Amino acid sequence: MPQVVLPGPVRRRPLVEAGVTKLPGEIRGRVTATRLSLIEVRPGEPLPPLPKTAWLEIDLDALVENVRLLTILLPAGVRLEPVVKADAYGHGAVPVARALVADGTRSLSVATFDEALELRQAGVEVPILIVFPIPPELAPAARRHGISVTAGDQTLLARTLAALSSDVQPGRPAAVASDDVERRLVAGASDEPRLAIHLEVETGLGRGGVDPNLVPAAAAAIEASPHARLAGLWSHLQAAGNADLTAGQDRRFGIAAEILEAAGAILPARHLAASGAVLAASVPPYDAARVGLAIYGLVPDGLEVAEGARAVAAALRPVMSLRARPIRVAWLEPGTGVSYGPSFTTARRSLIATLPLGYADGYPRSLSNRAQVLVRGTRVPLVGTVAMDAVMVDVTDVPGPDVSVDDEFTLLGEQGGARIEALEVARWGNTISHEIVSAMSGRLPRVYYAAAEAVGLRTIACDTSRGGRGLDWPPPEASAEDSGPLGRE
């Protein structure tokens, strides 16, 4: 991999082809930009200087290979739908989505309307499902952009259908929907596409979905609207590795489908499994599997992987690494307090390295005096309290010459044959792997690699989207003066 150039001014550079996937340009005559756009890195060229000496490395080759491996576990005809919510679990939604689509991914899932809209603004045109209900007043915009939504509450469903009815504008073309699946949404009474609604069933998670007995009524309300259609029936598992709980949820999901069929409805696409269920083989895959954590090379914490999936699970490669170089390395005398509190005091003359990242970057404060990091392939302890912008590491016992500001540290990932995994970091912080990667904030530069070369860099400094409205969000009736501080920038 090319040498990372550290610090210096960040030059604004245009969005271009980055070798793996298409970067945004004009969509239907309107120039758009992503929330956190990419700086061009041309093949063979070094990276531009990073704005800080702590950064994430994202391996797009590992991402694509993980998806291919996981697809092996699904029967023919079952779609693997990558989940790219929460900024693709911290990896960067737009670069991740583009890499996946370039490799053949046919649909994606997110959690919020703006996550879906960000992908549309970036030119991602495959079907997108929002797995949490959106505010009903956003339903017309979702329909125009070919974004599928979830319904899991009858009151909100009624309001969503009402919002669609009040927004009818015959003759207005659909905004994006170019995929064959989306083209099937076109309805008869209007030139607009119907909004694809996936009905969530409450099977035991206790947080969302309609009761199985009420599924026919909800489905009938959707199909009765000329502006919507029932596109999916789904639920989510409480504990994919728990055979009893999972069997009960699958049974209730099946009952919902049977009741719907008995009412005369045609069953839509069904999806129940996520990463855990795919790896544990605990429920049928039905028509699609929504896979999140596993595509990023991580197995859900504590999951007992099915025997037939163990080879695939073992071959998954973590996509994210967290690196840093010190901003200071100094000898401290015995009795010197380190960081706030202090929660750590040197008992001997100690060489302490300060790394420029902290809890504002997503490195949890709960790791204070618990975590370890790698330098020169050697594990060293994090000492003192994790601050907003800095952590300190005791490098006194690292073999060889004294550690210097030129040494590279690895806080997550591999170095010199040693590895620190997200699961290990999660255990130090009393949390789960999902949180460790998803919490990585936009302040950390993300360097994207493919074919062992850097192909893109995302930083706050190269954000070109502020002050611009992609597509038609906020809605046209909301002026810049009404849309809050960002709308007036």
Residues annotated as catalytic are 85, 340
Cα 235 to Cα 489: distance, rounded to the nearest angstrom: 41
For the chain, the C-alpha Rg in angstroms (whole number) is: 24
Pairing state of beta strands 288-291 and 320-324? Answer: unpaired
Please give the single-letter amino acid code of residue 394: D
> What is the residue type of 421?
E
Would you call 53 helix, strand, or coil by DSSP?
coil
**Closest to 352 (Cα-Cα) out of 362, 367, 370, 337:** 337
First to last CA, the chain: 38
Written as one letter, the residue type at 272 is: L
- φ, ψ of residue 47 to 5 degrees: the values are -70, 150
Distances (CA, A) of 354 to 9, 331, 393, 429: 22, 12, 6, 20
C-beta atoms surrounding 14 within 10 Å? 10
User: Tokens representing 264?
Assistant: 């005369």
- Residue 450 identity (one-letter amino acid): A
* Angle at which helices 243-262 and 215-224 cross, to 10°: 50
Provide φ and ψ at 110, rounded to 5°.
Answer: -135, 180
Backbone angles phi, psi at 372, to 5 degrees: -125, 155
- 320 φψ region: left (φ > 0), alpha (ψ -120 to 50), beta (else): beta
Angle between helices 93-102 and 60-71 (to 10 degrees): 50
- Angle among Cα 273, 275, 280 to the nearest 5 degrees reads 80
Q: Confirm if 15 and 33 have CB atoms less than 8 A apart.
A: yes
